[in-house]
Structure 1
Amino acid sequence: MNPAPSPTSPPTPAPESPSAVWKFERAGMLIFFIVLMVSLYAAHACQEPVMQWLGLHGGSPGDAPPWYFITRDFAKGICSGGALLLCVLVAAFMWRWWPGYAAMLVWMPLLWLGQDVARSWIIHQACPGLLEGQRITSRWPTFQSYQFDHDIAGANTAVMVGALLLSVVLSLGDVYVRRRLAARRATRA
């Protein structure tokens, strides 16, 4: 038997009331926005330190091959990969309580940062010796050939389509799991 509430204590909202749901969801929303903003900021802020740490020295923007852009994009991809990993790890921890926000914390950064990671991987494959300094070569003789590379364009498209498909799959999975849990609760009652 539940004791009667005292007249001086504030009423507690029912577990399914909108205010209780809002209070519960607010924490997940805050974690989502904070981690997303921190990861995007970190991906941008760590580019110069990563370039110095790896010894990536680019020329000027008018040089051929376009080392200035190649090295900057490579460092940007490494930083974006770290930020994407941070988002996925936090999403894995918050999946149990806020699966909707955890799913968004996976596919949104993938949509924004995944292209940089894919470009960095292609640069690593196309520029043997990139991290060795002296023996560096490139398959892109000019900036135009780098900018309109078919592999980079294909990877960007694949990442965008993959992120959008992942968002649909995760949303449908979330709906399916919620319905199964509701059905279990209904059969227990």
Structure 2
Amino acid sequence: MNILIAGATGKTGQLLTQDLLDQGHKVTALVRESSDTSTLPEGTHLRHGDLTDLPPGVCDGTDVVIFAAGSGGSTGPEMTDKVDRNGAMRLIDLAKEAGVDRFVMLSSIGADQSDPSGDLAHYLKAKHDADAHLKASGLNYAILRPVSLTDDGRSQDVILGDQVDPSAQASRADVAAVLAEAATTGTHDGHALNMQSA
């Protein structure tokens, strides 16, 4: 499959890219001109595009698009809106225009709330809006909402769905594995799933 990843240079994105390459897929990283691509696995293709201003055609020739990007914890509300909300929504629209088969969204626990509260309220609202846009797009989709992330390796198992403990943790390696599964198998099509490592 031809798979386009937004956020491939991030911690989770690098693991995801390696997983998909190991499975024999063609992986293209959507990166800004200024991105440090030195950490991407060998064999990764590059396509330039900034999530705050995506050009038309960025999803052309792609079977599956995965959004695993994020504005980062140190940026303010404006950048959260530009990347996590508007950037994701624009990528969804471009994916639909390009006729991609599936769009996989890396979201967050709590993004199912339309009016979240607490320290992460603005971020969760942005993720909620992007998830809602994907659901309404008509695309085949899967949405993964992991709990707090760690840099631990793969665990023995993962828990998906209503049994997830919101206070638990999920390793980035497990998140990458589930994203790869969602992208390539269609197992989770039509679902928004909470996730934790077991």
- The structure carrying a bigger helix percent of its residues is 1
Larger Rg: 1
Fold in common (TM above 0.5): no
Task: Tell me the TM-score normalised to structure 1 length.
Answer: 0.27
- The structure carrying a bigger strand percent of its residues is 2
